[in-house]
Each structure stands twice: as structure tokens, then as C-alpha cells.
């Protein structure tokens, strides 16, 4: 399953990845905070959509991502 940056705002469509809370091959549970992104005045924790394993991180810390962009992949368990 793809981890997609959710739409955080109608005005700001880009955010910077400020921290990954999990690494590749880590088991994750639904709603666990996977990563933190920041816009100009806000930070937002992106949760895991399901139980599973974080198999691939596609975008790294300090990278800018757009709403709707795939940032990681999880295999569902």
C-alpha cells in the first residue's frame, strides 16, 4: 500500500519532511506516526494507514513533497 502525503491545506500544497519516525523493514501499526512534515507554520504527523511493514521510503528528510505524492510503501499484514 502506498503512503501518500495527504492534502493538508487548500492553499499550501507542499511540505518538507522534517523527520521519519520509522525505518525500512520496521513493523508498523495502524495510526502509528510514520513521519513528520512541516509547512510554513505547522507540523503534521502522517500516520500509518494499516498494520504491516514499512518496506520502502521513497522521500527522505529535508525533501519537499506535494500533496498526493507517494512517499513510502507498506506491505499490509
Binding site for other proteins (CB under 8 A): 8-12, 16, 18, 31, 33, 36, 38-45, 47
6 or 55: CB nearest other proteins = 6
Q: How far is CA 46 from CA 4, 6, 43, 69, in A?
A: 9, 8, 10, 13
* C-alpha triplet 38, 50, 73: angle, nearest 5°: 65
* Closest distance of CB 13 from other proteins, Å: 10
18 or 29: CB nearest other proteins = 18
* Closest distance of CB 36 from other proteins, Å: 7
Amino acid at each position: 500500500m502506498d503512503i501518500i502525503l495527504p492534502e493538508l491545506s487548500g492553499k499550501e500544497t507542499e511540505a518538507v519532511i522534517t523527520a521519519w519516525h520509522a525505518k525500512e523493514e520496521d513493523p508498523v501499526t495502524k495510526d502509528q506516526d510514520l513521519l513528520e512534515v512541516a509547512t510554513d507554520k505547522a507540523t503534521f504527523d502522517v500516520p500509518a494507514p494499516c498494520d504491516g511493514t514499512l518496506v520502502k521510503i521513497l522521500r527522505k528528510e529535508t525533501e519537499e513533497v506535494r500533496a498526493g505524492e507517494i512517499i513510502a510503501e507498506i506491505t499490509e499484514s
